[in-house]
Chains A and B, each alone.
Chain A
């Protein structure tokens, strides 16, 4: 709340106040319309000699009638404009917060679509301004105005009314907040539970169906659901009673107004034409205070959003240093990567994710990195990319520690990963993200190299086709190819391939790999792979286990000397099948 609410209030209080003022003005016009109407017909009932005597109230009635709508309209527009400005600032802020953790966001929060939730949170926070701040502030202003007006006529009655209306302005909202706060908390906990359990069950629906145990799940779900329903019913009933009592409070307010004006008139403190005026206006005024309860009651609903956003700011992947040396501004021709007794662990009491690794990769070398999940391949890659700072030892690019190169690393190393993101824009824009300097010819050339030019020109709008319109046209392998074209445009000396072929069928995989190897000729390749298909093209095959290198060498020599490697290679390329193929068919 401190960081995601107060600063915006401070910055935009003028806009919000203006919006509140407009809505107050609109309400006062509505009240004014009834006030002047009441006065008008009372004055008319006295049958004045000259019609001009009621000319002013007639004009007043019409003016108030017209301006009510104008003010309301202006207030809503102003309010929304201010809130959209705040929203835009909050989005930038969220982006800025997440940006340093770019590589880790996905792995840090695995449950659900965290990014979607965060983006929704920000959308929800506009309600705090629209439905809580503005209505509460306007109600407060109306209250002050009305008490001031009454005080002008009769101080003690104004004082009593002020106290009485506090029921609507303070007591009901506070009681609602107290009463429903815990209820809301319970509700949001149960809802969360329900959401998780149901998601879990739907994801595992196949298993429920196959096990024949659906009924037991459904009944446990209904039990949980009925808790939520009961709580909601209680809340609803509470609101119903509150609305009912509020109306009675208003009714009593009107009656007290009738008696007060009656007394004032009989004591000759007030003209009798004002009785109707005050009595009619008090309805509108008192009713404008009712929404405060609802506005305040919303508060617990914002809490979760605030909590999630606050948690974000405590992550440890803060901004890495920017490069100090100018040479990194330009893409190098030649890159020597050297790791020297490298150690890294994620937390103090964790085991070493990377445990004493030394590597020497000269420009143009091709390395395959193989290992079980959790063996430390990705950590090693993050260290080389400079996204993590080694705990011990060092990893250098042309002699400079990798993490010191900071965001300029993207000019030296490109990454092709498992699910390259294709942005919701045209095909050509997606490709152009590779290099801002690339001409259309260069882009089309790159698309040609990865074998997509014909496919793209065959689309309804060619290169200008919007990604979302292509739907399923781009298969998994083709999406990788698009990302590859993007990388070709970057012309970096080093490319990291992070399992780009997982999930592709063997033939698509092989075609993609041969395109990758062909187009990236001459570049240093560091390839994380789970199969041994294609390792014969590598200068070195490295097996990692528990953060260490346990086996390394060229494919041919490993195949000859290492029985473990031979055994594994059998799975990818069964030898007896190969033999049969070399013979004739029967």
Chain B
């Protein structure tokens, strides 16, 4: 049974109250039709029973039919209005969510996973729509129809009304008790369930490993065995879970049977007439219908409610309160200065330790700054901070001496960011290169292609620059992907360049070749390069060494090598041979 109290949220959606009022009104209309339909049908049957001729019942037959058509027309209208509401509301939610997603980008997605977000946007919206579409009409039907029918039956025959009245709570109590028992059994077995239901996909994912271990043939047996175990266990739970709908069926049918028998006994005694008795008998199943329909889509609505909660929570999530800065300058010049003062960044999962802890340093003009340190020392966090993918928890960031908010879109427009795995869109090579500068001319694009060293690749493609790449097209190697990113950077020519470990995953020859193109790109730009690869440090003006979230030292390479500090020990531990 869905607990109605948990769904208050639904009434905060626009138009929900109006829809509820409308639905309630239409449901009342539907209830009146149901009662009339029963009265006319009973009249028809008892008339024929009393010996009326077939030709005499035409008008009543017509009335019955009219009541029936009206009844289902009301249902039709309710469905129509609630679908419209559900469609509009779920679309609004999706729009709000997507806007947020593409406003925050990066940091938002990293915490969630691409697959989850896409599924939530597409399937989640569909589930929400289904939930919204079903919830209000069902609530109205359950609140109104049984009461109306019961009231009418009470007028016709008190004993039958009493039977119906008593059955309802008994039925609901049994359903809840059995539902809870099934849930408890599920929970008790949750751990084994998880293992069993994951086993198959886990096996598929580990297929290559199984093959290398010589177990892949043998494992087939284990799939059969586990699937069978899973079946037995599922059936054990289902036996209990289905009991709750068994209770529903059992009590409804028994209640109708009791009504029929009690009517029969009193007819024999002449306490009641056939007409009213038939009406009551016809209404008895109608009395239980809304409850029975409630259970049908229960799980669908659960998923929808869950999705709605998640979508709303994510859409209304506020990133770290950004210290409102002054206007960002639209350009970056030789004299511009970016300064960090006591800047700190917290870990996303709220760990005690800080990802960046009170950083102080400044970068000016077109300096090249190497960022180095062990994994988890805060290199990437600093890059994210500069790129505005996340906000600082404390401290201040200044540009040319004035406080600045780096999450500002204007700041982003000064930056090119090249990660370890630049993303290539499923589009033509040309569109990918011109992503940051869609208005670029053919000539400019060819120039960028040349600068990035992509000419040979382009000449190999049958369609040249128009060749499709990315997920839906030709697959490029890691080095080629990196070159496309370089071409993008050459083309849009923004003054600040952020690189996060651009070459570590590449084979050494590719790295060597790429380095030449990259050094060309660095010219006349402010560069921040985070890497483990020491050879890059020769190209850097200054090196910032990070250690456990703190800036351990900063200076030119020769300065740092002179000192017996963090940089020197880092270099030593990297360069000593393998034991």
Contacts and interface: CB of A to CB of B under 8 A. Distances in A.
B263 interface: yes
A568 B575 contact: no
Given A91-B227, A578-B575, A61 B217 contact: no
B552 interface: no
A103 B208 contact: yes
A92 B49 CA distance: 62
A52 to B, nearest CB: 11
Interface stretch (A11-19, A216-224, A335-343): A216-224
Interface in B63-121: 64-65, 68-69, 71-73, 75-76, 79-80, 83, 87, 91, 94-95, 98-99, 101-106, 108-109, 114-115, 117-118, 121
B439 to A, nearest CB: 11
Contacts of B212: 410, 414-415, 417
Contact of A110 (B117, B249, B475): B475
Nearest to B117: A202
Interface stretch (B9-17, B140-148, B337-345, B561-569): B561-569
Contacts of B101: 202, 205
What interface size band does chain B fall in? Answer: 35 or more
Contacts of A64: 253, 257
Contact of B243 (A73, A96, A502): A73
Contacts of B69: 248, 251
A532 B508 contact: yes
A188 to B, nearest CB: 12
- Interface SS of B by simple majority: helix
A62 to B, nearest CB: 5
Interface string A524-559: 000000111110110000000000000000000000
Interface in B278-335: 278, 281-282, 285
A571 B512 contact: yes
A517 interface: yes
Interface residues of A, number: 164
Contact of A425 (B65, B108, B195, B533): B195
Nearest to B480: A373
Interface stretch (A177-185, A442-450, A456-464, A507-515): A507-515
A347 to B, nearest CB: 15
A502 B202 CA distance: 23
Contacts of A51: 265, 268
A374 B478 CA distance: 11
Interface in A44-73: 44-45, 47-48, 51, 54, 57-58, 61-62, 64-66, 68-70, 72-73
A586 B562 contact: yes
Contact of B95 (A69, A222, A280, A586): A222
Contacts of B87: 229, 233
A19 to B, nearest CB: 13
A96 B220 contact: yes
B165 interface: no
B83 A537 contact: no
A251 B562 contact: no
A88 B227 contact: yes
B207 A105 contact: yes
A370 B508 contact: yes
Interface stretch (B391-399, B410-418, B444-452, B518-526): B410-418
Contacts of B374: 505, 507
Nearest to A385: B212
Contacts of B49: 42, 45, 272-273, 275-276
B417 A266 contact: no
Contacts of A98: 204, 207
B214 A410 contact: yes
Contacts of A262: 48, 53-54, 57
B509 A372 contact: yes
A38 interface: yes
A41 interface: yes
Contact of B261 (A58, A214, A415): A58
A166 B558 CA distance: 91
A468 B242 CA distance: 31
Given A202-B117, A209-B102, A279 B45 contact: yes
Contacts of B193: none
Contact of A211 (B121, B210, B435, B578): B435
The 4 nearest A-B residue pairs measured at CB: A410-B214, A586-B562, A209-B105, A88-B227
Given A205-B101, A407-B211, 19 more contacts: A37-B260, A57-B264, A58-B261, A66-B253, A73-B249, A77-B238, A85-B231, A91-B223, A210-B105, A213-B438, A229-B87, A252-B65, A255-B61, A410-B211, A421-B209, A423-B206, A424-B202, A505-B374, A581-B571
